[in-house]
Amino acid sequence: MESPDARYLTYLFAGEQLYRIPDTTAAKPLATEPIDKPAPLPVVAKPVMPTVEEPLPYNPKHQVLIVVATLSVAEKALLTKILAAVNLQMNQVDILNLSEIAQADLRAVLTQKSLQQLITFGVSLFKIKLEIPLTPYQVRAVQGINFLYADPLEQIDSDVALKRALWTSLKQMFS
């Protein structure tokens, strides 16, 4: 008589050739001789884990925040012109340059409600710990803050169409 397991396997593997491996573990005699004490394991230094820098919290000083990945001299000059177009100067905005810090955490900005506008040039809000999807050049209001995502300043500087799109968005944002 077949065992229930054998019937199940026959059903499961119908049409395939099956092999039975004999159980050889029961035929081995148990060792009666003492077993030598194993050699001690070598001492290995624990690997040093790299420290993960905590994201810096951001405390705004102004009502407008500009987020950039980098800010060269040429990009700073363009940013000065962009701000002048909306009647702002560089000393009236906060600039968060991500090339100067490891990470930034702007989640508290939403709860503090100290900002009115946040413009990011080529930096996803996810990178600064804000899980707000944005469409390029479309102003989106979230919890009383107007958000705008634009291309990096370097690209905007060399593309007239991007400059127009940015100007249209800025007029809407600062009106």
Residue 54 makes CB contacts below 8 A (sequence gap 6+) with 103
Q: Which residues of the chain have pLDDT under 70?
A: 1-39, 41-60, 102-103
Q: Considering all CA atoms of the chain, what is the largest pairwise distance in Å, rounded to the nearest integer? A: 94
* Contact in structure between 151 and 162 (CB atoms under 8 Å): yes
**What's the chain's length in residues?**
175
CATH architecture of 56-173: 3-Layer(aba) Sandwich (3.40)
Give the single-character DSSP code of 135: -
User: What's the pLDDT score for residue 81?
Assistant: 94
Beta bridge partners, 97, equal 68
